[in-house]
Amino acid sequence: MIFLEFVRDLFSEPAFLIGMVAFVGLLALRAPAHKVMTGTLGPILGYLMLAAGADVIVGAMDPLSKMIEKGFNITGVIPNNEAVVATAQDILGVETMSILIVGLVVNLLIARITRYKYIFLTGHHSFFMACLLSAVLGALGFKGAMLVATGGFFLGAWSSISPAIGQRYTLKVTDGDDIAMGHFGSVGYYISAWIGGLVGKGSKSTEDIQVSEKFGFLRNTTISTALIMIIFYLVSAIAAGSDFVMTLSGGQSPYLFAIISALKFAVGVAIVYAGVRMILQDLLPAFQGIAEKIIPNAVPAVDCAVFFPYAQTAVIIGFISSFAAGLVGMAILGAVGGVLIIPGLVPHFFCGATAGVYGNATGGRRGAIVGAFVNGLAITFLPAWLLPVLGNLGFANATFGDFDFGTIGILLGRVGGTFGQMGIWLLVAFTVLVLFLPSILRPSKRAINNVEFEGEEK
């Protein structure tokens, strides 16, 4: 049992998962021992830096969320992946762990034998999806080995398919860097990019925004992020009232607390950017070993924050637009008498920012704004529709916040609820067809959709 817990924790820790990939790749390239050591530690340290920055951001957002809830008299459900997973582990801990391991193996097998050569490296999201699958399939009557096998298959399959769906858009975002999206908000980002292509014709990139010389300091992403967030925090603190903010600040001046929290948020973003640079510096060269020797033409699918440095202004625009959509969606849900989904700042920042980056890649400023807004509406309504599926196991006060969790959970829950387990088996058969049909119709050694902008294979 101790060994199984160690394996579960190891494969759910993305830093070590990325480190192991780099290690195997460097061994495959027969790199010298000192390069294996540094090339393995680099991605691990980079991801830990990214995670540390994300923790700073999440910690800074917690009081902001509470101030908004208090100041504007909002009560309801705040989507939070970690909260659902923490609640579920007492009931489905073993099932979640088992599905996670099977899913990782299935992902590698699919990459080896099909054209979906995407290796999903965001371990904590794999863990979250394993939890969702164990909850939904368990509610449909799946148990034991059947639950683990079915859940592991869906996890591995979606880990392979989801990066491929929008890889053409991802290549636009990265200007051809050979990485893919490995985050279960992926479909929302691809929709944002598609919308950007519809509405953004002629719109300049967010990164080309002209700023007067006296405001040139705003080109510094850390400074501009800090200034924007100071406004957010101060408005929320004023609305919540100094007495309430004092309960969060531990006796510190409420407005000074708001300013410091905003500055910490900006620091967290800067740490994320530094970690991303460190990951890519070592991971991509090491991954060539896997692509050349073990899984030919494999493509690493990485966390959404890795894409932030490609359009740093779009990150802020996307967050603001997505959060505004969350407020609109909350108002709509309240008006129709639905479950009130309070905009969760964590999903709206990470998912909204990424949607902004993707929308900007295809539609410039308009694409970033409109694409992120649509994504914000989606991650407001999807968690509300997902709640009944999770409620069967007592998770009614918590729900997943990202796009793919909502769509996969709702699809499995509705199909299983309507057609029983036979409906799930039909979905399995359809997924197998999707995985192997590209290899039959258009044989190639290259990863599906991993092509240059002009349509020529890489």
Predicted confidence (pLDDT) per residue in 11-61, tens digit: 667 678 778 878 888 888 888 898 889 888 888 888 788 778 878 877 887
Give yes or no for a contact between 285 and 39, defined as CB atoms under 8 angstroms apart: yes
Q: What is the average per-residue pLDDT within 221-241?
A: 84
State how beta strands 180-181 and 118-120 pair.
unpaired
Q: What is the average per-residue pLDDT within 273-298?
A: 76
Predicted confidence (pLDDT) per residue in 45-58, tens digit: 887 887 788 788 77
Residue spans per domain, the chain: 2-441
What whole-number distance in Å separates Cα of residue 367 and Cα of residue 75?
32
Predicted confidence (pLDDT) per residue in 360-383, tens digit: 999 999 999 999 999 999 999 998
Question: What does the DSSP 8-state code read for residue 178?
Answer: S
How high does pLDDT run on average in the chain?
Answer: 83
Predicted confidence (pLDDT) per residue in 163-213, tens digit: 999 999 999 999 888 899 999 999 999 999 999 999 988 888 888 776 556
What whole-number distance in Å separates Cα of residue 398 and Cα of residue 360?
32
pLDDT exceeding 90 applies to what percent of the chain?
A: 33
What whole-number distance in Å separates Cα of residue 260 and Cα of residue 126?
34
pLDDT value of residue 105? 86
N-terminal to C-terminal alpha carbon distance within the chain = 45
**String of DSSP letters for 400-432:** --SHHHHHHHHHHHHHHHHHTHHHHHHHHHHHH
The single-letter code of the amino acid at 180 is: A
Please say if the pLDDT value at position 456 is more than 50: no
Q: In terms of pLDDT, which residue wins out, 387 or 395?
A: 387
Q: In terms of pLDDT, which residue wins out, 378 or 340?
A: 378
pLDDT value of residue 454? 38
Of 42, 1, 66, 9, the residue nearest 247 (C-alpha): 66
Please say if the pLDDT value at position 260 is more than 60: yes
